[in-house]
Amino acid sequence: MSSRLLSLICLICLCSLMACQTGLDTKQTKELMVKGDHFHYALDKLTDVIVHDIFSPPVASRVYSYPCIAAYSTIQKANPSMEDLGG
């Protein structure tokens, strides 16, 4: 086995081990505060793209629904009283 291949395998293993670290210090993690204005601004920019690119109605509805579902799922993680969309 060549030394380059062995070095690459070692690098991949090292990166994999570093990515699997557990026990993050909760004091160092920060909560992400997104206000409604941020979400409305993002949807407004999305509307500008949809109007500019002239998507068909089925495609436009998918383009709108995916970020809205992702936003709901993100908010739901912080608020357990909201229903999970995962079924």
Give, as one character, the DSSP assignment of residue 82. S
CA atoms within 13 A on the CB side of 24: 8
Q: What is the pLDDT of residue 53?
A: 83
pLDDT class of 60 with cuts at 50, 70, 90: confident
- The pTM score is 0.55
Instruction: Find the farthest-apart pair of alpha carbons in the chain and give their distance in angstroms, rounded.
Output: 56
Q: Which one is predicted more confidently, 30 or 36?
A: 36
Enter the tokens of residue 46.
Answer: 């999305």
